[in-house]
Structure 1
Amino acid sequence: MNPVDPRTAARRFAGLSALRWLPSGLIIPVMVLLPTARGLSLATVGGLFALHSLLVAALELPTGGLADAWGRRNVLVLSGALAVATTVVFAVARDVPTFAVAMVLLATSRALGSGPLEAWYVDTVHATDPDGDIRTGISRGEAAEALGLCVGAVGGGFLPRLFPSGDPAALLVPLSAPVLLAGVVLLGWLAAVAVLVVEPPRPVGPRGWRGLLRDTPATVRAGVGVAASSRTVRLVLLSSVAAGAVLSALEVLSPVRFAGLLGSTRDASGPFGVLVAVSFLAVAGGSAAVPTLARWLRSLPVVGLVASLLGAAALGWFAAVDGAVVLAAAYIACYLALGVLSPVKSELLHRSVGSAQRATVVSVRSLASQAAGAVGALTLPALAAGAGYGWAFGVCAGVLTLGGLALLAA
Structure 2
Amino acid sequence: MVQVSDVNQDARKIQRVYLTLTLGNTIAASFIWGINTLFLLDAGLSNLEAFAANAFFTAGMVLFEVPTGVIADGWGRRVSFLLGTVTLAASTYLYFVMWQISAPFWMWAVVSVLLGLGFTFFSGAVEAWLVDALRFSGYEGGLESVLGRGQMVQGVAMLLGSVAGGVIAQASNLGVPFILRVAVLAAMFGVAFALMHDVGFSPERSTHPLRATRAVLSASIDDGLKNPPVRYVMLAAPFSAGVGIYVFYALQPFLLDLFGDPRAYSIAGLAAAIVAGSQILGGWLAPHARTLFHKRTSVLILGGLVGAVILLILGFTRNFWLALALLALWGVVGSAATPVRQAYINDMIPSKQRATVLSFDSLMGSSGGVVIQPLLGRGADLYGYPASLAVAGVIELIAVPFLLASRKQGAAADTAITTETAPDTDSLP
> One-letter code of the match for 2:308?
A
Between the aligned partners of 1:202 and 1:223, the Cα distance in structure 2 is 15
Q: Does 1:21 align with 2:22?
A: no
Task: Report the counterpart of residue 39 of structure 1 in structure 2.
Answer: 44
Q: Does 1:136 align with 2:135?
A: no
Task: Report the counterpart of residue 257 of structure 2 in structure 1.
Answer: 260
Between the aligned partners of 1:144 and 1:326, the Cα distance in structure 2 is 27
Q: Does 1:175 align with 2:174?
A: yes
Contact map agreement 2:61 2:120 (CA 8 A) in 1: yes
Contact map agreement 1:114 1:362 (CA 8 A) in 2: yes
Between the aligned partners of 1:218 and 1:370, the Cα distance in structure 2 is 24
Question: Between the two proteins, what is the percent identity of the paired residues?
Answer: 23
CA shift, 1:263, in A, is: 4.6
Between the aligned partners of 2:341 and 2:232, the Cα distance in structure 1 is 9
Contact map agreement 1:308 1:401 (CA 8 A) in 2: yes
Task: Report the counterpart of residue 352 of structure 1 in structure 2.
Answer: 348
Match of 2:403 among 384, 403, 407: 407
State the Cα deviation string for residues 109-129 of structure 1 (Å, max 9, x = none): 011111111100000112233
Please state whether the residue corresponding to 1:322 is helix, strand or coil.
coil
| Alignment TM-score, normalising by the size of structure 1 | 0.90
CA shift, 1:238, in A, is: 2.8
CA shift, 1:371, in A, is: 0.4
Task: Report the counterpart of residue 171 of structure 1 in structure 2.
Answer: none
State the Cα deviation string for residues 224-274 of structure 1 (Å, max 9, x = none): 221122222112213322222222331342222223333554x22101101
- Greater mean deviation of Cα atoms: 297-306 or 361-370: 297-306
Match of 1:239 among 236, 239, 255: 236
Task: Report the counterpart of residue 199 of structure 1 in structure 2.
Answer: 198
Between the aligned partners of 2:141 and 2:257, the Cα distance in structure 1 is 49
Please state whether the residue corresponding to 1:356 is helix, strand or coil.
coil
> One-letter code of the match for 1:262?
F
| Alignment TM-score, normalising by the size of structure 2 | 0.86
Between the aligned partners of 2:359 and 2:260, the Cα distance in structure 1 is 39
Between the aligned partners of 1:150 and 1:129, the Cα distance in structure 2 is 33
Structure 2 unmatched ranges of 5 or more: 1-5, 408-429
Contact map agreement 1:89 1:99 (CA 8 A) in 2: no
Task: Report the counterpart of residue 367 of structure 1 in structure 2.
Answer: 363
Task: Report the counterpart of residue 30 of structure 1 in structure 2.
Answer: 35
Contact map agreement 1:243 1:338 (CA 8 A) in 2: no
Task: Return closer, same or farther for 1:336/1:218 CA change in 2, 3 Å cut-off.
Answer: same
Task: Return closer, same or farther for 1:346/1:281 CA change in 2, 3 Å cut-off.
Answer: same
Task: Report the counterpart of residue 63 of structure 1 in structure 2.
Answer: 68
Between the aligned partners of 1:340 and 1:134, the Cα distance in structure 2 is 13
Question: How many pairs were matched up?
Answer: 394
CA shift, 1:132, in A, is: 5.2
CA shift, 1:130, in A, is: 8.0
Between the aligned partners of 2:36 and 2:74, the Cα distance in structure 1 is 33
- Greater mean deviation of Cα atoms: 332-341 or 36-45: 332-341
Between the aligned partners of 1:99 and 1:24, the Cα distance in structure 2 is 18
CA shift, 1:134, in A, is: 2.1
Structure 1 unmatched ranges of 5 or more: 164-173
Task: Return closer, same or farther for 1:130/1:140 CA change in 2, 3 Å cut-off.
Answer: closer
State the Cα deviation string for residues 210-230 of structure 1 (Å, max 9, x = none): x23541232122112211222
Match of 1:286 among 282, 286, 289: 282
Contact map agreement 2:304 2:399 (CA 8 A) in 1: yes
Contact map agreement 1:241 1:372 (CA 8 A) in 2: yes
> One-letter code of the match for 1:240?
A
Between the aligned partners of 2:383 and 2:57, the Cα distance in structure 1 is 25
- Greater mean deviation of Cα atoms: 240-249 or 361-370: 240-249
Q: Does 1:341 align with 2:340?
A: no
Please state whether the residue corresponding to 1:398 is helix, strand or coil.
helix
Task: Return closer, same or farther for 1:384/1:148 CA change in 2, 3 Å cut-off.
Answer: same
Contact map agreement 1:35 1:45 (CA 8 A) in 2: yes
Between the aligned partners of 1:34 and 1:158, the Cα distance in structure 2 is 14
